Amino acid sequence: MRFFVDTADVGEIRELAATGLLDGVTTNPSLVMKSGGKMADVIAEICSLVDGPVSAEVTATDHEGMLKEAHYLREIADNVTIKVPLTVDGLKTCKLLSNEGTMVNVTLCFSPAQALLAAKAGASFISPFVGRLDDIGHEGMDLIAEIIEIYDNYDFETDVLVASIRHTTHVVQAAKMGADVATIPPKILWQLVKHPLTDKGLDAFLADWAKTGQSIL
């Protein structure tokens, strides 16, 4: 499973990219707002740090407007992926952009029917928002299972990108289901490495090592 980070914070992206574990980045208008930067500058800087897909979301809501913004954004770098919302205009834009060879991430997906349409529109990625479904009392991860089943039935090439992740269990569940990608907030990405027994075990090894008086080099 590929790991994308869900942020527009360049500092955090730089730190995560240095681990070698980062496969891409997703942003959205709210994340760009939080970064305090100008969309095109932020995307350009992120693309200089990460080789994998970097999602930049259009903000127009009509097809023509989305297309114009997408054509502008995709010129920023080769790894820009255009993010469009799951609306009729978004799907129309997705179809056209994918025919042009541009990677498209269809976002704000909350149902299997929507995911089916995104695949038919040639999306490179579908972004089902599991956390926001959990928030309203649904089981967000059930949607992931349904989409994977549907895509497998027809060998759709659209990657399932699990989004709106709220905790490490979402990541593990996504991996068990065979989701292609998880886009993960930085804090949760760092939490994935943590286990108290790892810390405890390492402390004990180092204490015993100190008793030997040796050094490896």
Q: By CB under 6 A, tell whether 2 contacts ligand E4P.
A: no
> Which of residues 117 and 130 has its CB atom nearest to ligand E4P in the complex?
130
In the shown chain, the binding pattern of residues 93 to 112 toward ligand E4P, with x for contact by CB under 6 A and - for none, equals --------------x-----
Tell me the number of residues near ligand E4P by CB under 6 A. Answer: 11
Residue 203 near residue 184 (C-beta atoms within 8 A): no
In 60-138, DSSP assigns E strands to 80-85, 104-109, 125-128
Which residues touch 91 (CB under 8 Å, ≥6 apart)?
Answer: 84, 106, 117, 118, 121
* Percent helix, percent strand, percent coil in the chain, to nearest 5: 50, 20, 30
Residue 193 DSSP label: T
What is the pattern of x (binds ligand E4P, CB under 6 A) and - over residues 13-52?
-------------x-x------------------------
Q: Does 79 bind ligand E4P (CB under 6 A)?
A: no
Residues that bind ligand E4P (CB under 6 A): 6, 26, 28, 107, 127, 129, 131-132, 163-164, 183
